Structure 1
Amino acid sequence: MSEQLSIYDQIEIEDFTFDPVQQLFTYPCPCGDRFQICLEDMKDGEDVAVCPSCSLMCQIIFEEEDLQEYIDQIDH
């Protein structure tokens, strides 16, 4: 049985803010908090960021090779 996701918006990966220490992508949510997804989940193929304060989710538009520049930020 597949779970129906309620996607608020589709957002390009370059519009997210990346924190190399926490390895976390964030983007402002309309509720005032931020959508969040970790780099490890994205490497595993996950493309939905969730806001911890409300039920909104957004889909991240990216190609797997886009992640390399963020991985490089961690390794240095």
Structure 2
Amino acid sequence: MSYDDVEIEDMDWNEKLQAYTYPCPCGDLFQITKKDLKLGEEIARCPSCSLYITVIYNAEDFVDQKSNKNLTPTRKTISVA
């Protein structure tokens, strides 16, 4: 069971860590990266203790549009002589 449920809007973007962060009671920060969010991860962990939080976010906000194009089949027209 997670320590808390936290909305992504309540977290801070940390440029140095390249992760969304939220204060942990131990004094460190819960962390989750954009890559984790794109993969559907919803758990932000604290690197200093065993606590973790559940991040509430809209997964569609983190979908990589480039990777979606690769999944869409393209239709090619072939000329027949």
Using structure 1 for the length normalisation, give the TM-score: 0.73
1:63 aligns with 58
State the identity as a percent.
Answer: 51
Question: What is the one-letter code of the residue matched to 2:24?
Answer: C
1:7 aligns with 2
Q: Considering only CA atoms, is the larger Rg found in Structure 1 or Structure 2?
A: 2
For structure 2, which runs of at least 5 residues remain unmatched after alignment? 64-81
SS at match of 1:52: coil
For structure 1, which runs of at least 5 residues remain unmatched after alignment? 1-5, 69-76
Q: Structure 2 vs 1, CA of residues 64 and 34 (structure 1 numbering), >3 Å: closer, same or farther?
A: same
Q: Shift of residue 65 of structure 1?
A: 2.9
Bigger mean CA deviation after superposition, 45-54 or 17-26: 17-26
Q: Shift of residue 21 of structure 1?
A: 5.9
Bigger mean CA deviation after superposition, 7-16 or 18-27: 18-27
SS at match of 1:46: coil
RCO comparison, higher one (Cα < 8 Å, 6+): 1
Using structure 2 for the length normalisation, give the TM-score: 0.69
- Alignment RMSD, CA only? 1.7
